[in-house]
Each structure stands twice: as C-alpha cells, then as structure tokens.
C-alpha cells in the first residue's frame, strides 16, 4: 500500500514537472525582432535563388504595388544562403526559408526566434514542387507579411502621437498619427493633416459624406472619383490660380472591398494630379460605411515627392488610416 501511495505521488510530481516545462516553453522570453519595414529575408541556396524558385519568389513578393506612379516592389528581398541564417540574422522580422528534398509543404511560423516575427517555411522534393507551393500560397504569404508590418508600423507610430481630440469631437473619429504631422484645416466636417518630408509632403484627409453620395447607383468607382474631385476643388488648391487636386484621368483607380474598425469599406488606390499644374502622386482612399450614423467616413492619404520612391510613404499613411476608430 505504501508503495502504491509513493508511486502515485511520484507520478503526480513528474506530471507537474512536465506541465511546468510546457508552460515555460510557451512563456519563453523572446528578444525584439529587427529589420526595416517591408524587408524580407529569403533563406535559400544561391543557385536556387538564381533559378526558377528565385523567379517565383520575386514574381510574387516583389510584384509592383498597386496605385503607385512608378513600379516599386511589395517587399524588398534580401537573399542569403542557409548557413548565414543564424545568430542575430534570425531576428529579422520577416523571412522565407526554402528547403529542397522534403515532401511538399507550406507552413507559417509566428515569433519563432524573435517578437514580433513572421516566418514561412516552404519545402518540396524538387524545384517544380517548391515553385508550385510558392504560387499556390503567395496571397497568404503577402497577407501575413502585410499584417505583421502594419502592426509594427503602428507600434512605432504610437511612440509619439498627435492629439486627435478635435477630430473626435467634430467627426466622432479617432486616428493615431505621429506628432510630426500638423493640422492644416480643422473644420466641422473636414480635416486636412500634413507632414513635411524631404522634397515633398505627406497628406491625410478625413471627412464625411451622406451614404447616397457613394451608394446612389452601381458605379461605385465613378461616384468615389466624383466625390474626390469635388473635395479637391473645394479644399486642396494647386500652386496657380484655378488649379486644384483631381483624380488622374488617364488611369482608372483600383477598387477593393475592405474593412476598417470592423466596418465595410471601399478601398481605392490610384494617382492624383493637379488640374492646370504639373503635380501628381499616389493616393489611398477608404470609404468606411458608418450605417449607425447614415454616412461614409472618408479617410485618404496621398503623397507628393517628385522623382523619389513612395512605397514607404504610402505604407505609413495606410498604417495610420487603418488605426481608425469610429464612435
């Protein structure tokens, strides 16, 4: 009987020890991840990077960003051989690791070596299987990486925030944007917020329109263009008399169904220009359906920075717009 009690107590002790070990594993302390926004480490042998696998990765992860006036890649890719993926390099926030000679698979790893971090492991018995895995899962890879980077950008923005009390009081909208921005226009139903950058500006507009402005018929993109152009004429003047911002007529904007603050939104990406002046640049516009208040909240970011890359500027604006909370 004593032996039975002893064995029972010993088993319970060992079980508790296993549980403690598992909890310690789950609660392990991770160091901070590193890396520039939208930079992805590609861990693959040099010869495979130069072949069909590298082509598939570049085709899907370095595809042009929608709505920019010049071609710029979704992500900047930094290739390294597997033996280099060790130590501090493993702290890079985004990485894709390719392994040949294993059954075809695609796996997403969250915070494997640092926090926050998103890692992708792609395997295949040969090059063809690996390329097939890349092509079949490219949308998921881009979605995971974009989500990670938006959250990281928003975390950095929160370190020094501009007061949005007036915005909340006037429009019932909260937005987290850096203190480097300033209010250019603060009206009852329209806000224009700006930030100086080298050789240009980054701009945000927030306003409201009745739901019928966008929902009056099925031509949603046409209605959004009309709305943008009327706002540009009323509030965004150009450098010469009679000039103002309009949607670039030569190229139709991209239109997507999206969601902000748990509400349906139309997401429009394209380029703007100034009527009667040589100025242009990219914009991103969210029309958020606020059914409780029978309105659309319009959130737009646009940039002016001639002859320079604008991907990262627009990404910052997108991260700001996606922080919106509607009362």
Q: Whose CA is closest to 305, among 183, 228, 202?
A: 202
Select the CATH number that applies to the domain covering 39-157 from these four: 3.30.70, 3.30.379, 3.90.105, 1.20.1300.
Answer: 3.30.379
Q: What percentage of the chain has pLDDT greater than the value 70? A: 91
Question: Tell me: the pLDDT tens digits for 167-226?
Answer: 999 999 999 999 999 999 999 899 999 999 998 999 999 999 999 999 989 999 999 999
39-157 and 165-326 share one fold:
no
* Residue 235 backbone dihedrals phi, psi, to 5 degrees: -125, -20
Q: Provide the pLDDT for residue 29.
A: 77
Q: Which residues contact 179 (CB under 8 A, 6 or more apart)?
A: 160, 161, 162
* Stretch 276-284: mean pLDDT: 92
Q: Provide the pLDDT for residue 125.
A: 98
Q: What rounded mean pLDDT belongs to the chain?
A: 91
Residue 92 gets which letter from DSSP?
Answer: B
Cα dihedral 229, 235, 238, 243 in deg (nearest 10): 50
Residue 102 gets which letter from DSSP?
Answer: S
Q: Whose CA is closest to 115, among 33, 187, 173, 235?
A: 33
Q: What percentage of the chain has pLDDT greater than the value 90? A: 84
Q: Provide the pLDDT for residue 239.
A: 87
Measure CA 130 to chain center. 26
Q: Provide the pLDDT for residue 139.
A: 97
Which class is domain 165-326?
A: alpha beta
Q: Identify whether the C-beta of residue 316 lies closer than 8 Å to the C-beta of residue 310.
A: no
pTM score, whole prediction? 0.89
Q: Rounded CA gap, 293 and 158, in Å? A: 28
Question: Tell me: the pLDDT tens digits for 25-64?
Answer: 445 678 999 999 999 999 999 999 999 999 999 999 999 9
**With 70 as the cut, is the pLDDT of residue 21 above it?**
no
Give the domain ranges of the chain.
Answer: 39-157, 165-326
Question: Tell me: the pLDDT tens digits for 103-125?
Answer: 999 999 999 999 999 999 999 99
Q: Identify whether the C-beta of residue 236 lies closer than 8 Å to the C-beta of residue 194.
A: no
Task: Give the three-class secondary structure for 117.
Answer: coil
């Amino acid at each position: 009987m004593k032996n039975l009690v002893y064995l029972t107590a010993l088993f319970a002790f060992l079980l508790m020890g296993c549980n403690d070990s598992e909890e310690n594993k789950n609660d392990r302390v991770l160091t901070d991840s590193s890396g520039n926004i939208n930079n992805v480490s590609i861990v693959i042998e040099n010869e495979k990077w130069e072949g069909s696998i590298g082509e598939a990765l570049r085709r899907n992860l370095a595809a042009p960003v929608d709505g920019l006036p010049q071609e710029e890649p979704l992500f900047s890719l930094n290739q390294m051989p597997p033996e280099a993926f060790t130590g501090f390099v493993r702290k890079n926030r985004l990485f894709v690791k390719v392994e040949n000679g294993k059954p075809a698979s695609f796996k997403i790893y969250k915070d494997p070596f640092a926090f926050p971090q998103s890692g992708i492991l792609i395997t295949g018995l040969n090059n063809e299987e690996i390329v097939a895995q890349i092509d079949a899962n490219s949308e998921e890879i881009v979605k995971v990486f974009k989500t990670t980077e938006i959250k990281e950008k928003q975390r950095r923005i929160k370190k020094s925030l501009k007061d949005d009390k007036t915005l909340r009081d006037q429009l019932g909208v909260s937005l987290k944007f850096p203190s480097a921005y300033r209010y250019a226009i603060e009206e009852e139903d329209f806000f224009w917020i700006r930030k100086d950058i080298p050789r240009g500006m980054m701009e945000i507009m927030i306003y409201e329109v009745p739901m019928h402005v966008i929902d009056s018929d099925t031509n949603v993109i046409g209605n959004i263009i009309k709305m943008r152009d009327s706002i540009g004429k009323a509030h965004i003047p150009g450098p010469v008399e009679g000039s103002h911002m309009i949607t670039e007529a030569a190229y139709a904007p991209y239109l997507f169904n999206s969601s902000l603050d748990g509400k349906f939104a139309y997401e429009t990406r394209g380029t703007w220009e100034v009527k009667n002046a040589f100025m242009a640049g990219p914009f991103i516009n969210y029309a958020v359906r606020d059914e409780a208040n029978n309105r659309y909240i319009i959130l737009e970011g646009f940039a002016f920075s001639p002859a320079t890359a604008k991907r990262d500027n627009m990404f910052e604006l997108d991260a700001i717009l996606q922080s919106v909370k509607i009362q």
